[in-house]
Structure 1
Amino acid sequence: MTNIAHSYDVASSNNAPSLGRCGGFVAEHPQDAFHLPARRTSVPEARRRVTALLQEWGADQHVRDDVELVMSELFTNALRHTASEKVGCELTLFGAHVRIAVTDEGGGGISAPQVQPGSVDKECGRGLFLVGALSENWGTRPDPGGGRVVWADLPYAATDD
């Protein structure tokens, strides 16, 4: 597993294709963030947004597919296991990795997310197994607002265009 530091240099997704020229400085790590209502109908919207953003950044199709699946799993877990009214999503491109971070507002009283034993064979509970299989590293941290951030780092590759 890799141990990758998280950067907070921000560039809007509109500037990301040019590697983040933003307000007179060049952001080292293109980044975009958005919030959506904590509803099932927001899951496909989150997938669409991250796929479009990664396409702008030049990610190849395999990367877009993997990030879309991981985002979907993390967003769905935030809906199912917390009492959030909104869910935050953040993507950061750095080096050969893309970090997905999903922030909930807490509530629900559950412990930190973890892969459930035997989750591969169950209809529910496979999400974090998939996150672990597709990412090089993933984890959780408390959010200063009282919720939790669940993040995953996936390999990034650009298209050969």
Structure 2
Amino acid sequence: MPETETFRIPNRRDHVPAARHRIRKALADWGITGDIADAVTLSANELVTNAVTHCRTSLVGIEVTLTLHGPALVLEVSDPDRDLLPRPHDSGPDEECGRGLALVAGLAEEWGHRQEPDAKCVWARFTVTERLEGAAHVPAGS
């Protein structure tokens, strides 16, 4: 049975660290540490930052879902701006922004997006090759 952690944050940049913390805690609760935890947490940071930066609808929050099913770990970040789809951007060496999706593409096995009736979801898939023995394996929100 898959393990899932889902939470919402307000559509504000100052809530990105809280999302990062929740992801890191869920991974630790599931016994996932090291490089894969770093890659997932960094990808979550980028996807959540993109959502709060580019979403043109501020009344509804950002939803983050992390699902572990066997070795497959999927990170999903949804926001209510369903028509503004992500596009990778070739950033110049002096640009401060625009590298987030390229970073996610380099860290994840694959990434993509889908439009839902009232939102868009940007996702990234990772493979977990090992987990710590004796991890709590309880829902991370508990």
Compute the TM-score of the two structures, normalised by the length of structure 2: 0.84
Of 40, 43, 60, which residue of structure 1 is paired with 2:16? 43
Greater relative contact order structure (CA < 8 Å, 6+ sep): 2
Partner of 1:17: none
Superposed CA deviations along residues 120-153 of structure 1, whole A, max 9, x for unmatched, are: 73321000000000011110101222x2100000
- Tell me how far apart the structure 2 counterparts of residues 88 and 94 of structure 1 sit (CA, whole Å): 19
- Tell me how far apart the structure 1 counterparts of residues 96 and 113 of structure 2 sit (CA, whole Å): 23
Partner of 2:50: 77
Stretches of structure 1 lacking an aligned partner (at least 5 in a row): 1-27
Superposed CA deviations along residues 34-69 of structure 1, whole A, max 9, x for unmatched, are: 001011111000000000000000002211111110
Q: Identity of counterpart residues, as a percentage?
A: 35
Partner of 2:121: 149
- Tell me how far apart the structure 2 counterparts of residues 58 and 157 of structure 1 sit (CA, whole Å): 11
Partner of 2:30: 57
Q: Give the Å deviation of 1:87.
A: 0.2
Compute the TM-score of the two structures, normalised by the length of structure 1: 0.74
Partner of 2:80: 105
Residue 148 of structure 1 aligns with an amino acid whose one-letter code is K
Stretch of structure 1 that moved more, 120-129 or 48-57: 120-129
- Tell me how far apart the structure 2 counterparts of residues 137 and 127 of structure 1 sit (CA, whole Å): 14
Q: How many equivalent residue pairs? A: 130
Secondary structure, aligned partner of 1:41 = helix
Segments of 4+ moved more than 6 angstroms: none
Stretches of structure 2 lacking an aligned partner (at least 5 in a row): 134-142
Alpha-carbon RMSD: 1.7
